[in-house]
Amino acid sequence: MAIARGVSVSTHRTMFIVLLSLVVGICIKAIGVLLVSAFGVIPACAAQLLSRIFTHSLKFKGNSVNRSKFIGIASGTALAAGTTSYLLSDRSNLLRADINLTDSKNAMLKPDEAEILFLASLAPSGHNTQPWFVQYLEPYHWIIGNDKNKWLPAVDPTQRETMLSIGAFLQNLDYAASAFGYVCDWTLLATTNQDDRVMSVKLLKEASKNAFDIAKIKSRRTVRSNFLSDVLKPEDLKYLVNSEPKFIHYLPTTSKESQFINEQTIAANRLQSHRDPAQQELANWIRFSSKDAEKYRDGLTTASMEIEGISGWVVRNFYDKDNVMKKDFRERGIDTVKQEVSASAGWILITSKDNSVAAFLETGRRMQRLFLKVREKGIAIHPMTQILEEASTRQTLNQSIGINESIQFILRSGYVKNYPQPVSLRRPIDWFIRT
Ligand SMILES: Cc1cc2nc3c(=O)[nH]c(=O)nc-3n(C[C@H](O)[C@H](O)[C@H](O)COP(=O)(O)O)c2cc1C
């Protein structure tokens, strides 16, 4: 048709191809510049600097070396070395999705028992220590225990948080059992936070009226960044608090009590990060490399601390426990806390009726019931417990915010636009079952 109208098609075609090549060329160049800068220009400049010194010395010795050829070889070598070492490095965060958690070689375990215990183990715990074990007595009859090796003496000397974490484990177990058609028959065994044997449980086959949706257990996670500052909507608040208003208190970000918790959280983090035993304990639970994360399947990984991209790569490949003890690491930790508390819907505090073992376990369960409800509302939760862990901030808390009951959890809450997938690791069930 164009030819019929006398248009010179071949000229237009040629012009179009030239233009297209130009556009594609510019795009490729833009990406190329980034890659070449990272792997080419920087090593090449270093090589050139070196080569200046080199050619001088070589000439001095009466040799004649072609300088541009030398630069070429040096840059090529540097580029190849840089690329190879990057490819051999610890390149990406190890995620929960990368590991198999449900496989069990324990012949005694029935498939549904294995599934229920796996789901229970997805409970949160301070520093992700997973301080529980399960003593297998007979099918569907276990003792849930407190694993001394997983305590955090520097920040939790009375094992209050250990018991709260075990409480969260019990709640997951209860919900998971209901999904497989069991009700749990519990007997409290522990009289102190230090007792090995905490609870005995029997799973009784009984058509449960409320089978819990286990997808909620699998998708729950602690979120630490990108909180919005909108206060919780009344209908969401009602959904979260309604069943236990006596024990769940919401302090909206606009309230002076919430501002007080912000300030105290920063102060407590400052105190704790300068307390060497606490900082050393934190260092011991950080799994810097993917190799260690895979080996231990617990603790805090770069992924669970939400250290992404180049920063994550640097931490995985170049950091160790000694870095955590350095001044700049401690300072950066406090800066992160300042940033975190500057964005939230406010704080959710969970109280207990007293400080008995039973009350700690029940409060852990209460926290977990709440935690399992927030994702469907697009609300993130971040426990920040330092105020309760440092004596000076703990002592003034109740009076300053006008709550009389014992506060067991301080949870930063907030809506998030994109809810991330869970990434923290868990030990496989065979590692925490004792037969
Ligand atoms: C008792 C308790 C205390 C916690 N304290 C903190 C805390 O102070 N700061 C923090 O970032 N996360 C805290 N967490 C969250 C844990 O680090 C988190 O549950 C763990 O790393 C596992 O990750 P997940 O919740 O995404 O499964 C706490 C959790 C529990 C149960």
pLDDT at residue number 372: 98
Q: Which CATH number fits domain 222-415: 3.40.50.150, 3.40.109.10, 3.40.50.720, 3.30.70.360?
A: 3.40.109.10
CA of 383 to the centre of ligand 1 (A): 6
Query: Within 10 Å of residue 247's Cβ, how many Cβ atoms?
Result: 20
Count the helices and strands in the chain (H runs, E runs).
17, 11
Cβ atoms of 299 and 127 within 8 Å: the answer is yes
Q: pLDDT band for position 43 (50/70/90)? A: very low
Centroid of chain to Cα 61 = 59
Residue bearing tokens 């959890």:
409
Eight-state DSSP code of residue 232 = P
The reply to whether ligand 1 has any atom less than 6 angstroms from the CB of 221 is yes
> Among the listed ranges 71-75, 145-149, 389-393, which one has the minimum average pLDDT value?
71-75
Average pLDDT over residues 122-136: 98
Give φ, ψ of 382 to 5 degrees: -135, 100
The reply to whether ligand 1 has any atom less than 6 angstroms from the CB of 125 is yes
Q: Which atom of ligand 1 is nearest to the CA of 385?
A: 8
Q: Alpha-carbon distance 111 to 109, whole Å? A: 6
Q: Pairing relation of β-strands 406-415 and 433-434?
A: unpaired
> Among the listed ranges 143-147, 210-214, 258-262, 370-374, which one has the minimum average pLDDT value?
210-214
CA torsion sign for 211, 213, 218, 221 is negative
Same fold, 99-218+425-434 and 222-415: yes
Cβ atoms of 280 and 337 within 8 Å: the answer is no
Q: Which CATH number fits domain 99-218+425-434: 3.40.50.150, 3.30.300.30, 3.40.109.10, 3.20.20.70?
A: 3.40.109.10
> Among the listed ranges 66-75, 132-141, 216-225, 341-350, which one has the minimum average pLDDT value?
66-75
Torsion of CA 161, 162, 166, 167, to 10 degrees: -30
Q: Which string of DSSP letters, residue by residue, matches 396-419?
A: HHHHHHT--SEEEEEEEEEE-SSP
Centroid of chain to Cα 106 = 29
Q: Which string of DSSP letters, residue by residue, matches 299-327?
A: SEETTTTT--HHHHHHHHHH--HHHHTSH
Listed residue (219, 417, 386, 222) closest to 304, CA to CA? 222
Residue bearing tokens 């900082």:
279
CA of 402 to the centre of ligand 1 (A): 26
Q: Alpha-carbon distance 144 to 122, whole Å? A: 15
Average pLDDT over residues 382-388: 98
The reply to whether ligand 1 has any atom less than 6 angstroms from the CB of 124 is yes
pLDDT at residue number 239: 97
The reply to whether ligand 1 has any atom less than 6 angstroms from the CB of 128 is yes
Q: Which atom of ligand 1 is nearest to the CA of 371?
A: 25
pLDDT at residue number 24: 41
Q: Alpha-carbon distance 10 to 27, whole Å? A: 26
CA of 107 to the centre of ligand 1 (A): 33
pLDDT at residue number 210: 83
- One-letter amino acid at 406 equals S
Q: Whose CA is nearest to atom 19 of ligand 1?
A: 124
Q: What residue segments make up the domains of the chain, in order of their start?
A: 9-88, 99-218+425-434, 222-415
pLDDT at residue number 81: 85
The reply to whether ligand 1 has any atom less than 6 angstroms from the CB of 164 is yes
Q: Alpha-carbon distance 347 to 251, whole Å? A: 5
The reply to whether ligand 1 has any atom less than 6 angstroms from the CB of 167 is no
Q: Is 175 exposed, middle or buried (0-12, 13-18, 19+ CB in 10 A)?
A: buried
CA torsion sign for 33, 36, 42, 45 is negative
CA of 38 to the centre of ligand 1 (A): 37
Listed residue (184, 163, 164) closest to 117, CA to CA? 184
